Copies of this chain bind each other. A is one copy, B any other.
Amino acid sequence: MCRSVRFRAFRWLIACGIALCFSVADVWAASGGSRSEEIFIALGWIVVVLLAARIGSAIERIGQPPVLGEILAGVVLSGFALVGVHWLEPMRTSVVMRFLAEVGTIVLLFQIGLESNLEQFRRVGLRATLVGTVGVFFPFVGGYFLGQYLYPEGGANMHIFLGATLTATSVGISVRVFRDLGVASSKETSIILGAAVIDDVLGVVILAVVQGLVKTGTFELLDVAIIIGKSLLFLVGAIVVGGRLAPWLARWMARLSTSTTMKFAVPIAVCFLASFVAYLADLAPIIGAFGAGLILDRVHFDIYRAPQIVEEIEHDILPDLGEPHRSRLVGILQRHRLHHIEELIQPLAYFFVPMFFVMTGFSVDLRTFGTLGVVVAGLLITLVAVVGKLVAGAVAGSVRRWIVGWGMVPRGEVGLIFASVGLGIGVVTAEEYSAIMLMVMLTTLVTPIVLGRLLRRGSAS
Contact = CB atoms under 8 A, between A and B. Distances in A.
A316 interface: yes
Nearest to A258: B60
B47 A276 contact: yes
Most interface-central of A35, A266, A309 (chain B CB within 10 A): A309
B53 A276 contact: no
Contact of A317 (B38, B261, B332): B332
**Nearest 10 pairs of A and B residues by beta carbon:** A264-B350, A54-B265, A43-B276, A347-B347, A44-B276, A309-B336, A47-B273, A58-B257, A58-B256, A50-B269
Given A24-B280, A51-B269, A347 B95 contact: no
A269 B54 contact: yes
Given A58-B259, A309-B333, A345-B347, 6 more contacts: A47-B272, A53-B265, A264-B347, A307-B309, A313-B332, A320-B325
Contacts of A275: 43
A42 B99 CA distance: 9
Interface in A430-444: none
A97 to B, nearest CB: 10
A268 interface: yes
Contacts of A347: 264, 344-348
A308 B54 CA distance: 20
A310 B309 contact: yes
A98 B95 CA distance: 12
Contacts of A98: 39
Contacts of A35: 95
Contacts of A253: 54
Interface string A249-286: 00011001101111011101100110110011000010
The complex is assembled from copies of this chain, and their number is: 2
A269 B350 CA distance: 12
Interface string A69-111: 0000000000000000000000000011011001000100000
Nearest to A260: B350
Given A27-B280, A316-B328, A316-B332, A40 B257 contact: no
A107 B347 CA distance: 13
A279 B44 CA distance: 10
Interface string A28-70: 0000000100111011101100110111011011000010000
Contacts of A266: 54
Contacts of A47: 269, 272-273, 276
A328 to B, nearest CB: 6
Contacts of A96: 95-96, 99
